[in-house]
Amino acid sequence: MKNARLLPIWVLTTTFVPLGLFWALSSTLLRKNIKSTVVNDPPSALAQSLNGLEGAYNQALNRNLLAALRVAGQESLAKALAAPTPMNTVVKNLGQLESQSSQLPLLLLADRKGNALYATLSLPKPTPSPSPVVSSKRKKANSAKKSPSYPNVRDWPGMDRALDDLNASGVLDVQGVPYLASFVPVRSHGHTLGVAAAGTRMDKAFLDNLKTEAVNDVAFYSQAQTLCTKAGPLPPLDPKTLSPRDHPALQWQGAAYLAGAVPFFGLDSKIAGYGVVFQPVKQTLTVGGSLWKDLWEAGFLVSFLALLGALVFLWRWMIPFHQLRGAVERMAQGDWNAFLPVRRPDEWGLMARGLQEMAESLREKERVSLVLGKVVDPQAAKKILGDKDYFALKGERRECTLLQADLKGFNTLSENMAPEALVEALNRYFSLINEIVFKYEGMLDKFMGDAALAVWGAPFTHPDKEWRAVRAALEIQEALKEFNISRIKTGHPPFTVGIGIHTGTVVSGNLGSDRRPDYSVIGEPLHVAGRLCSMAAPGQTVVSDETHEKISAWVKAKPLNPIAVKGSLESLKTYEVIQFL
């Protein structure tokens, strides 16, 4: 047992102490022989980054150009623009379909006059000029002929080239936002009918794509805005001063960089901005020197093997932990039969045995709660708990006396009472029944809406079960009178109850699953008790002939009309119990 407990300490000592000493020795020797050398050529690396930036920029231009050519080449678009009266609705629908399929941030379809029939951007419409005062009839005629107005982009850069049957690509500034766009003419039978434009927004995501090819951080400088792939403020830099051959060094966020720029041209063939690449000046790599490189490799191998062995041992050592955690999770869900490694001779086994004892205790508490929820009398509960298998999932036949009490006129009462007041009154009524049933050692089986069912004879036997049930029924009727006095004083209608009592053989047992059991009774006598309760008038207690035979010497009763019983040719005699003698 002691060896098992000291095993983890022994493993840690014999593994990590030699490993730590070897690591310290090898580190001291290696620090004397390892040198650092500069391996990068910043100007050459910057040139490569600039080439990558320019290539990525051209690829983005080509993607936009292909998208614009695909849209302009649609025959339906050309037909819509070539119609004597341009079919603007058709053009708009085509633009919406293309925008949904291509997900282009910028898509523009314009006629030859420059009217933007469709645009993904929100463009301002022209302001109508004031018209002279005319008659109302003429005004209606003019409004009927008036066509819808569209934003006009005839003065945009690239529109002239596209209308002259030439493609145009470059940076386009739309309301202060830069886009990389391509303009393509829409042609049919040698005639230019309009222009299709496609583009992407030059934002942080666009720069991140450029950085993938440029390898280093990229910034975009323009009059509209300045963006960079690296967080933080940009260095003070004028990209116009950057020479293709002379790349100045600058300090940026505590490090030295070389900066190079690539001009981005607009649709008007003028420089619209610059793409700037920042190349770190110094990049160092640590390389080994002399014979101690072999020592480093050997030490690394030994360290790796030792660490691997320790991890394997720890993994095997942690298996019981995972078993215990899984058992606790299953116990939390109500499964008390979860597997526990109780036979282990170490701390895990000790913990498992403690969990097993806790599970047994919780299971016993659950069983006590189940019993005491049905039977409150301490002596009765002690008698039941004496047999640990008494509430196993099995049934038995018992002769029981059943009492069912039902409120009369409950539907009318519930309709005329507020929900809160109704619930409070029912809880007081059920508490009254609960107290009297437990007083005569009965089992309160269940509440069913406004009805209550009590049982004498299960789970334990009473030779005078009929006497107890009838005594409890009469006390309920008396207690209800005092209960109604308080209700009448507060201006509430009284409660009236009818009670039916029957004695017969039922099946009792723990009904339900192993996680949610419920001790109860079932059988035809329950239906007979319900029939008797239904025929009982308000304030009346009706018993069957089987019950009356056992209590006739102690009570004053009068016969009532017999009732038919399902499965029996003879009618069941019934009696109203008036009082005890």
Distance CA 483, CA 429 (A): 8
User: What per-residue confidence (pLDDT) applies to 58?
Assistant: 92
pLDDT at 160 over 70: yes
Lowest mean pLDDT among 313-317, 468-472, 501-505: 313-317
pLDDT (tens digit per residue) in 294-308: 566 666 666 776 777
**Average pLDDT score over the chain:** 79
User: What per-residue confidence (pLDDT) applies to 12?
Assistant: 62
Pick the CATH number of 388-580 from 3.90.70.10, 3.30.450.260, 3.40.50.1950, 3.30.70.1230: 3.30.70.1230
User: What per-residue confidence (pLDDT) applies to 380?
Assistant: 47
User: What per-residue confidence (pLDDT) applies to 466?
Assistant: 93
When pLDDT is cut at 50, 70 and 90, the band that residue 134 belongs to is very low
Beta bridge partners of 252: 255
When pLDDT is cut at 50, 70 and 90, the band that residue 542 belongs to is very high
pLDDT (tens digit per residue) in 340-386: 777 777 776 777 777 777 777 776 666 655 555 555 444 445 555 55
pLDDT (tens digit per residue) in 548-577: 999 988 999 999 989 887 777 788 899 999
When pLDDT is cut at 50, 70 and 90, the band that residue 320 belongs to is confident
When pLDDT is cut at 50, 70 and 90, the band that residue 145 belongs to is very low
More confident residue, 253 or 315: 253
With the C-alpha atoms ordered 529, 535, 538, 541, is the resulting torsion angle positive or negative?
negative
| Run of H or E including 370 | helix 347-374
Query: Which pair of structure tokens corresponds to residue 163?
Result: 């209308």
Distance CA 109, CA 443 (A): 83
| Run of H or E including 265 | strand 255-265
Which residues are CB-neighbours of 324 under 8 A, at least 6 positions away?
340, 341, 348, 351, 352, 355
pLDDT at 50 over 90: no
| Run of H or E including 31 | helix 2-33
Average pLDDT over residues 388-397: 61
Name the packing angle between helices 465-489 and 419-439 (round to 10°).
150
| Run of H or E including 219 | strand 217-221
What predicted TM-score, i.e. pTM, was given to this entire model? 0.43
Distance CA 409, CA 496 (A): 8
User: What per-residue confidence (pLDDT) applies to 162?
Assistant: 83
- The gap from C-alpha 561 to its chain's centroid, in whole angstroms, comes to 62
Pairing of strands 497-512, 541-544: parallel
pLDDT at 190 over 60: yes
Spatial CA neighbour of 579 closest among 440, 477, 442, 466: 477
Query: Which pair of structure tokens corresponds to residue 472?
Result: 């409890």
User: What per-residue confidence (pLDDT) applies to 34?
Assistant: 55
pLDDT (tens digit per residue) in 95-122: 888 888 888 888 888 888 888 888 888 8
pLDDT (tens digit per residue) in 420-470: 888 888 899 999 999 999 899 898 888 888 899 999 998 888 899 999 999
Is 47-122+148-204 a CATH 3.40.50.720 domain? no
Asked if domains 47-122+148-204 and 320-368 share a fold, the reply is no
More confident residue, 578 or 176: 578
More confident residue, 137 or 45: 45
More confident residue, 387 or 394: 394
pLDDT at 309 over 60: yes
Beta bridge partners of 221: 226, 274
Identity of the residue numbered 436: I
Domain ranges of the chain: 2-34+288-317, 47-122+148-204, 215-285, 320-368, 388-580
Pick the CATH number of 320-368 from 1.20.1530, 3.40.1560, 1.10.8, 1.10.3470: 1.10.8
- The gap from C-alpha 35 to its chain's centroid, in whole angstroms, comes to 54
pLDDT at 488 over 70: yes
pLDDT at 79 over 90: no
When pLDDT is cut at 50, 70 and 90, the band that residue 533 belongs to is very high
User: What per-residue confidence (pLDDT) applies to 293?
Assistant: 59
When pLDDT is cut at 50, 70 and 90, the band that residue 406 belongs to is very high
Peptide bond into 151 cis (omega under 30): no
Using CB atoms within 10 A of its CB, is residue 186 exposed (0-12), middle (13-18) or buried (19+)? buried
pLDDT at 389 over 80: no
